[in-house]
């Protein structure tokens, strides 16, 4: 099975190379990995106290961020390496000041994994969620590194629990500590004799509370809203925009729209829809600009702070499977949240829909009804918002388990 996996990984990597000509992301995927070992040799000393965090993309990094920052402040002489699988994650975080080195993770071949672990020699490795690579896990175990799986979630349908997954399952059993999101994951792992499992939730709860406590003011946003009721549509795709556009056009409240991909094509699409009633954030200068009804966010990094100004919001991605974006960012600000109907597998969405703080819609008609109700019924808006913020604070308490365990094993 190891040989089959090795051939599969190398083949898939080779087949993707021609797509570098047509896709910026694919090109970054390959180009970035060419520099990994050079960066490690320059920035990482294998004889120091190294901890390696691996994340797939930006969402997983937000889970790692509060853990990294607390460890940096609590553990002496700690050196932190963060690796990314995805260019969209790496490109947004490559200048993160709390890590000693940030790079792409080389493709999971035997040669790459051996070389990587030799260069880094991590005392502890932390794999966020389910971006689990068997060759790296094997090399970590051979290196006597302590391996953590954090904020992971398992289902019986996962291939490593199937008839052809035994080889991969044996690599899972090499992981020293599992900190999972729910009890079902714990039960499934127990079924396969994996007992070192703790339900700890998701460290994004800690991250969003930190954002809340920062209480960052954005003067241009405050002036644009001017004490009016405000709706924010965050991380939206074209499908989301089609659902929400008529309600925004037909209401007089202030609306802020932040596309998931800040591309010229996406910005142009929004400008064509809202025409003279909109202005881009980068162009918010003249007095008449602040009187516009719709603000288009054409930069990244500020959305999580903008949610503090929303009376209610819509979070995009919920009309594509496994694509819902972070609903905790607005929830921490006591903000009611509207999402699409493909939210299954996102525990916080499932929980908050059951509790009533998050509302799921299937089409523009349902969105219009919810939008109008939240515009008019302030008491409902506050009730739903409180449900969401209470949920965030309650779940944040569990995250100490991960950090306490890491500190213990690093000292």
Domains and their CATH numbers in the chain: 2-200 (3.40.50.11720), 209-396 (3.40.50.2000)
323 pLDDT exceeds 80? yes
* CA distance linking residue 139 with residue 2, whole number of Å: 13
Q: How many helices (H) and strands (E) does the chain have?
A: 19, 14
- At residue 9, the pLDDT reads 83
Q: Are strands 278-280 and 177-180 parallel, antiparallel or unpaired?
A: unpaired
State the helix-helix crossing angle for 110-120 and 36-43, rounded to 10 degrees.
Answer: 20
| Other Cβ atoms closer than 10 A to 10 | 15
Q: How far is CA 234 from CA 86, 170, 353, in A?
A: 21, 40, 18
pTM over cut 0.75: no
Work out the mean pLDDT of the chain and round it to a whole number.
93
28 pLDDT exceeds 80? no
Do 64 and 72 meet the contact criterion of CB atoms below 8 Å apart? Answer: no
Cα–chain-centroid distance for residue 335?
Answer: 19
Q: Would you list the DSSP string of 71-121?
A: HHHHSTTEEEEEEES-HHHHHHHTT-TT-SEEEEPPPS-HHHHHHHHHHH-
Do 62 and 32 meet the contact criterion of CB atoms below 8 Å apart? Answer: no
Confidence tier at 32 by pLDDT (50, 70, 90): confident
- Dump pLDDT digits (tens) for 143-193: 999 999 999 999 999 988 988 899 999 999 999 999 998 889 999 999 999
- At residue 15, the pLDDT reads 77
- Dump pLDDT digits (tens) for 92-125: 899 999 999 999 999 999 999 999 999 999 999 9
- At residue 224, the pLDDT reads 97
């Amino acid at each position: 099975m190891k040989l089959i996996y090795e051939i599969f990984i190398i083949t898939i990597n080779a087949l993707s190379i021609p797509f570098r000509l047509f896709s910026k992301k694919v090109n970054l995927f390959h180009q970035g990995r060419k520099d990994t070992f050079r960066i490690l040799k320059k920035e990482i000393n294998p004889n120091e106290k190294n901890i390696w965090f691996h994340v797939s993309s930006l969402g997983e990094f937000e889970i790692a961020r509060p853990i990294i920052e607390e460890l940096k402040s609590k553990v002496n002489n700690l050196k932190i390496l963060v690796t990314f699988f995805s260019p969209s994650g790496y490109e947004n975080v490559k200048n993160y000041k709390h890590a000693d080195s940030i790079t792409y993770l080389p493709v999971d071949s035997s040669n790459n994994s051996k070389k990587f672990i030799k260069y880094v020699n991590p005392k502890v490795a932390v794999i966020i969620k389910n971006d689990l690579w068997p060759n790296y896990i094997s090399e970590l175990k051979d290196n006597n590194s302590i391996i953590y799986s954090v904020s992971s979630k398992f289902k019986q349908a996962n291939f490593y629990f199937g008839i052809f997954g035994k080889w991969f399952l044996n690599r899972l059993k090499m992981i020293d500590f599992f900190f999972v999101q729910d009890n079902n994951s714990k039960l499934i792992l127990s079924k396969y004799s994996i007992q070192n499992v703790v339900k700890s939730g998701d460290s994004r709860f800690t991250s969003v509370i930190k954002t809340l406590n920062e209480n960052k003011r954005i003067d241009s946003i405050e002036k644009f809203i001017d004490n009016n009721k405000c709706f924010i549509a965050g991380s939206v795709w074209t499908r989301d925009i089609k659902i929400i556009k008529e309600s925004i056009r037909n209401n007089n409240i202030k609306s802020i729209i932040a596309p998931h991909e800040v591309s010229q094509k996406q910005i142009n699409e929004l400008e064509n829809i809202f025409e003279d009633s909109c202005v881009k954030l980068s162009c918010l200068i003249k007095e008449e600009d602040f009187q516009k009804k719709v603000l288009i966010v054409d930069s990244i990094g500020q959305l999580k702070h903008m949610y503090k100004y929303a009376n209610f919001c819509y979070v995009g991605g919920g009309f594509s499977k496994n694509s819902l974006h972070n609903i905790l960012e607005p929830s921490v600000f006591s903000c009611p949240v509207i999402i699409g109907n493909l939210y299954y597998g996102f525990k916080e969405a499932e929980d908050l829909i059951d509790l009533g703080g998050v509302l799921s819609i299937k089409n523009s008609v349902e969105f219009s009804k919810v939008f109008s109700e939240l515009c008019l019924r302030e008491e409902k808006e506050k009730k739903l918002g409180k449900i969401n913020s209470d949920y965030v604070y309650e779940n944040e308490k569990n995250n100490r388990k991960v950090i306490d365990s890491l500190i213990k094993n690093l000292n």
